[in-house]
Chains A and B, each alone.
Chain A
């Protein structure tokens, strides 16, 4: 038993590509035949506290889904140990399953396509031994804003977004202590994504719940997660709060600004950028597009801004914006994944 909601201790997983014949021979354990091996998780250790909203970010094939499948007991790790709500995912798998709700990436699986959302969810309520199955189905359907006739339509007749809502509702049925969400925003309309963010922040009506969120949507992570782990090639490369990750590459020496002009009829904006770069206090001036510059100004020479605006106006340009550039989570993560050196 551990005090964390989720814990992984040096968990590794290799996938082995073997053909049909070798598969049959291997399963009979007549002899072990090795195929090509692909590392999905490489000695991953991670702790997620109770009640935390934890994000897992990484490129395609980084090991996000493998990690979720191990934690939800449908995939066995090759080595290491993993615990959910204090229970070992291999030796206490039934206890783990009774304590989790799951939204997999392939969220339309496990549903009867010729059954309504209501009937499908009622089945899951019964399997989770919910006290009042019908009431719980009503409750989760209201939560995901799926009401009226749509709940009685065949699952196959629902739009992709509605199917995703039903899958989300299924994940909520057990009212579990730990909720795993793999790409929950997929196929959802903008309005419901906003609602989803609120639901995640409010932890779907249960503040003590732990949420483990895997997604490519940086905004979703940025706006909801307490902490984030970056995974790449099966390894955790960084764990921290959103602010910590965003500020990883923030320079202690300079401040980035974005300068935008209305137009560049003379086509000399590039020349202007070189002129700005030569102003005292300006470290760098990069052309972002034909009418936008990114300018890095030394923190002790912010007065250089006056000179910059003066030159721009002298050259006949109309300034439409001069804003301090915010740290971007997306950019930080991209730099982490590219193996960027930390500046602070």
Chain B
């Protein structure tokens, strides 16, 4: 074994790594945000007795609903990005299939898996003693609206990736910061006031709160209306922006001949 050869691999990997400058920046931020998220979680071991938790029954029920819904959020964000994979995009644009059929078709399977994960998490939680008080109508409406908002963001993300080919700030924002700010792991009310303000701008915060209320507190649509209608408006706005950004990016790629580029 020659150490020079080992060093050769080390150096080439380093050069490759530093060539993705954007990714390095976000890797550093990701690491910091991850550390902060777990620090909040770790320093609040007595959460179960917290006021914000008590209303949902237990910390386990609070956590499980948050985590299970996160899978559906990933599915919504991920599906449009998969559909625009440069390896397939060229062919997707050659087929007599409209762009929206392509996206919807690509979303379906991801959603089925997401729903399976969602159900699995809830079932396992149930076996650990979590009890649900579900209003099915408001739960389904919340899931559909929440998925629509995230689908809109997913289309924005995919549109950005068609241009940048690599960097995906939208998915990063929602998956990384979402964990810290929107109440997936712990109530956002435990955050410092400045971060709580940021939480207010994240749709997941409202989606998760509504989902917990509809699944754990049996709240119906009239009782959730205060949170529901802003979510409905948000869904309409974000979906429209998503469609606009996505179609504009495709047009840009067609005009500049970058459809099949990586």
* Chain A complexes with chain B: yes
- List residues of A whose CB falls within 8 A of some B CB: 13, 15-16, 20, 23-24, 26-27, 40, 66, 69, 72-76, 78, 94-95, 97-98, 102, 104, 106, 109-110, 124, 127-129, 174
Question: Main secondary structure on chain A at its contact with chain B?
Answer: mixed
Interface centre among B91, B98, B257 (most CB of A within 10 A): B257
Asked if residues A27 and B163 are in contact (CB atoms below 8 Å), the reply is yes
Least CB distance, B201 to chain A, in whole angstroms: 21
Contact call A75/B257, Cβ cutoff below 8 A: yes
Measured between beta carbons, the chain B residues less than 8 angstroms from A74 are 90, 93-94, 254, 259-260
Contacts of B164 in A (CB 8 A): 20, 23-24
Chain B residue numbers with a CB within 8 Å of A95 are 96
Pairwise interchain contact B90-A109, C-beta atoms closer than 8 A: yes
Across-interface contacts of B88 in A (CB, < 8 A)? 109-110
**B182 at interface, CB cutoff 8 A:** no
Chain A's closest residue to B97 (CB) is A127
Q: Give the chain B neighbours of A13 by CB distance below 8 A.
A: 257
- A106 and B90 CA atoms in complex are apart in Å by 10
Which residues 85-107 of B have a CB within 8 angstroms of A?
Answer: 87-88, 90-98
Main secondary structure of the interface of B (DSSP, over half): helix
**Centre residue among B93, B96, B249, B255 by max chain A CB count within 10 A:** B96
Known: A15-B256, A27-B248, A66-B257. A73 touches B93 (CB 8 A): yes
Contact of B90 among A23, A76, A104, A174 (CB under 8 A): A104
Instruction: List residues of chain A with CB within 8 A of the CB of B49.
Output: none
Please state if B95 and A75 are interface contacts (CB–CB under 8 Å). no
B252 an interface residue at 8 Å Cβ cutoff? Answer: yes
Given contacts A24-B163, A110-B91, A76 and B254 within 8 Å (CB-CB): yes
Q: Which residue of B lies closest to A93 (CB)?
A: B93
Q: How far is the CA of A111 from the CA of B135 in the complex (A)?
A: 43
When the two chains form their complex, are residues A23 and B260 in contact, meaning their CB atoms are under 8 A apart? no
Q: How far is the CB of A111 from chain B (nearest CB, A)?
A: 8
Query: In chain A, what residue has the closest Cβ to B86?
Result: A109
Contacts of B252 in A (CB 8 A): 26-27
A131 CB to nearest B CB, Å: 15
Q: Which 8 A-B pairs rank lowest in CB-CB distance, beginning with the nearest?
A: A110-B91, A98-B96, A97-B96, A76-B254, A74-B93, A127-B95, A76-B255, A27-B252
Q: Which residues of A contact B256 (CB under 8 A)?
A: 15-16, 23
B interface residues (Cβ-Cβ under 8 A, vs A): 87-88, 90-98, 163-164, 248-249, 251-252, 254-257, 259-260
| Alpha-carbon separation in the docked complex, A129 to B98 (Å) | 13
Contact of A97 among B94, B254, B259 (CB under 8 A): B94
Known: A24-B163, A27-B248, A75-B254. A110 touches B87 (CB 8 A): yes
In the complex, A73 Cα to B90 Cα: how many Å?
A: 10
Give A104 to B95 CA distance when docked, in angstroms.
Answer: 13
Cβ A94 vs Cβ B98 within 8 A: yes
Does A75 contact B259, Cβ atoms closer than 8 Å? yes
Q: Which residue of A lies closest to B162 (CB)?
A: A27
Bound complex: CA of A129 vs CA of B259, how far in Å? 24
Which residue of the partner chain B has the closest CB to A90? B254
What are 12 A-B contacts with C-beta separation under 8 Å? A13-B257, A15-B256, A16-B256, A74-B90, A74-B93, A76-B255, A94-B96, A94-B98, A104-B90, A110-B94, A128-B95, A128-B96
Cβ-closest chain B residue relative to A176: B96
Taking CB as reference atom, which chain A residue is nearest B102? A127
Chain B nearest CB from A95 CB (Å) reads 8
- CB distance B96 to A127 under 8 Å? yes
Residue of B nearest to A108 (CB): B87
Contact check, B97 vs A110: say whether CB atoms are below 8 A apart.
no
A109 CA to B256 CA in the complex, in Å? 20
- Taken together as a complex, chains A and B put the C-alpha atoms of A273 and B176 apart, in Å, by 81
Cα separation A26 to B88 with both chains bound (whole Å): 25
Give the Cβ gap from A86 to chain B, nearest Cβ, in Å: 16
Alpha-carbon gap, A104 to B97, bound state (A): 18
Further 11 A-B residue pairs, CB within 8 A, beyond A102-B94, A109-B88, A109-B90: A16-B256, A23-B163, A24-B164, A66-B257, A69-B257, A73-B94, A76-B251, A76-B254, A94-B98, A106-B90, A127-B97
